């Protein structure tokens, strides 16, 4: 029977929910207190225990909002310092986004109140959590940022199950442990036994995968990190100097005979091929004799694309970014927004156009899938590249927008999971860092510090193998949905509460 709660009880519940949010945020990359991820939902579960569904939704949404305020505070830096929006407006944008993201915690909290308080509670709750992460990754163009599993990005042994079920499988395991621990503290320990078996199997699989002997890498890549300040990146007075910086850093790598050179997103500081520096760039590329990937804004028939170019064997091929950043690269409902609030061209000057499809670019010795910036956070895009024959993945980005915050680490963590999910080397060039080379086991072989002009040469290899996750990616949401439905079928009046 549901008991009435006093305002003091509600205040305690909100504090517990906020504590969950703080734990969740602190566990994420950047701050990186990763063990908290395994306990971050526990205070929230106490907060909503025996609450009415409507109350649980509100309490959970509050905790979720706190979680993303801790995780995504860097949005204020991005939209204020580089978007031209004052602090009050930047804080409002952050709060609106976090309120939206907090709703997923609210739905989770509502869901667990109607689940039976037995082992099905852990299975149903974990599957609901995972389904909500899937939904967050697709609804309103998708924002699968700071998932529960991402807190474990520096623990390779735990990441290995991602080639079976993606980052979502690890999220399921972590949510299941949180729920099972809650049940155990309420005197029902069967689910915790299952959770420990699941963790043990995952660690065993991880140990097996990590100890597999890999062939020695056959190729070398030169990663260029020019560290161009965002405020001067498009200033005409600095454009020739910016190109010169890229060229000089590239020339320093040639003594190590790299097989591939990678510049970051929009490395070329003008529109391509209209810019006056295009000829200078092409002449430089012709003299190198080494394949080179670079980013630039491409203009065709009065349309602008965020593109990655590959110059190889005197041929230029390109890929246009297909998944754009809303409010960054384009403004949804621009006409309506400007009619209501006036011009916002200073914040979002013009709309970038999306490319038509994921492409694989051909190198002399293999095939590369290229993901630009934000695209690396969507597992379905890297999977599509591998389906089309990509033997390695390249990601180029400009994270200068984030400043010295946790965001560059959160962005890099996504690439770590993509490497394991597809068992592909990932080569990452970032304008201001973090540039990195990641092997198929999710180990970062080499990485750069933030906001330092530098370069490095590191080994890498190719792979043609497909993973279970790669073959079954679209099936996993239906599996979790089935688990959730079966868990609800066990509900009865006598086990709805403790």
Show the 3-state SS of 13-38: HHHHHHHHHHHHHHHCCCCCCHHHHH
Which residues contact residue 148 at a Cβ distance below 8 angstroms, ignoring those fewer than 6 apart?
24, 37, 40, 129, 133, 170, 171, 174, 175
CB neighbours (10 Å) of residue 203? 14
State phi, psi for 355 to the nearest 5 degrees: -70, 170
Annotated active-site residue in 133, 265, 329, 375: 265
State phi, psi for 478 to the nearest 5 degrees: -70, -35
Collapsing DSSP to helix, strand or coil, 137 comes out as coil
Is the backbone of residue 24 left (phi > 0), alpha (psi -120 to 50) or beta?
A: alpha
In 3D space, the residue among 97, 88, 99 whose CA is nearest the CA of residue 63 turns out to be 99
State phi, psi for 21 to the nearest 5 degrees: -60, -40
Q: In which element (H, E) is residue 327 found?
A: none
Q: How far apart are CA 302 and CA 162, in angstroms?
A: 42
CB 224 within 8 A of CB 429: yes
CB neighbours (10 Å) of residue 447? 17
CB 252 within 8 A of CB 455: yes
Annotated active-site residue in 117, 233, 321, 441: 321
Catalytic site includes residue 265: yes
Cα 380 to Cα 386, 387, 429: the distances in Å are: 10, 10, 21
Annotated active-site residue in 55, 117, 329, 373: 373
Q: How far apart are CA 288 and CA 73, in angstroms?
A: 42
In 3D space, the residue among 258, 274, 191, 189 whose CA is nearest the CA of residue 223 turns out to be 258
Q: Which residues are catalytic?
A: 265, 321, 373
């Amino acid at each position: 029977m549901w008991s009435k709660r006093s305002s003091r009880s509600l205040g305690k519940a909100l504090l517990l929910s906020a504590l969950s949010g703080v734990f969740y945020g602190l566990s994420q990359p950047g701050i990186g207190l990763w063990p908290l991820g395994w306990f971050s939902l526990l205070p929230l579960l106490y907060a909503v225990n025996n609450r009415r569904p409507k109350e649980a939704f509100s309490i959970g949404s509050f905790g979720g909002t706190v979680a993303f305020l801790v995780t995504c505070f860097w949005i204020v830096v991005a939209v204020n310092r580089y978007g031209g929006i004052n602090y009050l407006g930047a804080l409002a944008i952050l709060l609106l986004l976090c309120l939206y993201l907090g709703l997923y915690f609210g739905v989770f909290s509502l869901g667990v109140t109607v689940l039976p308080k037995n082992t099905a509670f852990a299975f149903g709750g974990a599957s609901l959590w995972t389904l909500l992460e899937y939904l967050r990754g697709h609804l309103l163009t998708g924002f699968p940022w700071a998932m529960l599993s991402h807190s474990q990005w520096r623990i390779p042994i735990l990441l290995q199950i991602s080639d079976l079920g993606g980052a979502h499988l690890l999220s399921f395991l972590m949510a299941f442990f949180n729920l099972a621990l809650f049940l155990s503290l309420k005197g029902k320990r069967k689910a915790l036994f299952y959770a420990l078996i699941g963790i043990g199997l995952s660690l065993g699989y991880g140990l097996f995968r990590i100890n597999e002997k890999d062939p020695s890498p056959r190729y070398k890549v030169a990663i260029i990190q020019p560290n161009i300040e965002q405020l001067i990146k498009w200033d005409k007075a600095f454009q020739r100097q910016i190109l010169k910086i890229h060229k000089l850093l590239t020339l320093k790598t040639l003594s190590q005979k790299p097989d591939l050179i990678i510049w970051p997103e929009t490395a070329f500081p003008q529109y391509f091929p209209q810019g006056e520096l295009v000829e200078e760039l092409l002449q430089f590329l012709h003299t190198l004799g080494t394949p080179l990937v670079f980013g630039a804004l491409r203009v065709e028939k009065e349309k602008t694309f965020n593109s990655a170019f590959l110059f190889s064997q005197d041929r230029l091929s390109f890929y246009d970014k297909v998944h754009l950043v809303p409010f960054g690269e384009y403004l949804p409902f621009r006409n309506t927004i400007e009619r209501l609030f006036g011009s916002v061209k200073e914040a979002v000057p013009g709309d970038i156009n999306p490319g038509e499809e994921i492409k694989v670019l051909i190198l002399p010795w293999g095939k590369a899938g290229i993901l630009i910036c934000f695209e690396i956070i969507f597992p379905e895009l890297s999977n599509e590249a591998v389906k089309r024959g990509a033997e390695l993945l390249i990601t180029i980005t400009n994270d200068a927008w984030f400043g010295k915050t946790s965001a560059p680490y959160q962005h890099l963590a996504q690439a770590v999971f993509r490497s394991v999910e597809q068992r592909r080397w990932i080569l990452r060039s970032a304008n201001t860092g973090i540039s990195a080379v990641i092997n198929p086991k999710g180990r970062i072989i080499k990485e750069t510090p933030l906001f330092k002009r530098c370069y490095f040469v590191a080994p890498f290899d190719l792979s043609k193998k497909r993973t279970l996750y790669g073959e079954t990616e679209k099936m996993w949401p239906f599996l979790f949905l089935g688990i959730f439905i079966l868990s609800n079928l066990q509900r009865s009046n006598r086990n709805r509460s403790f």
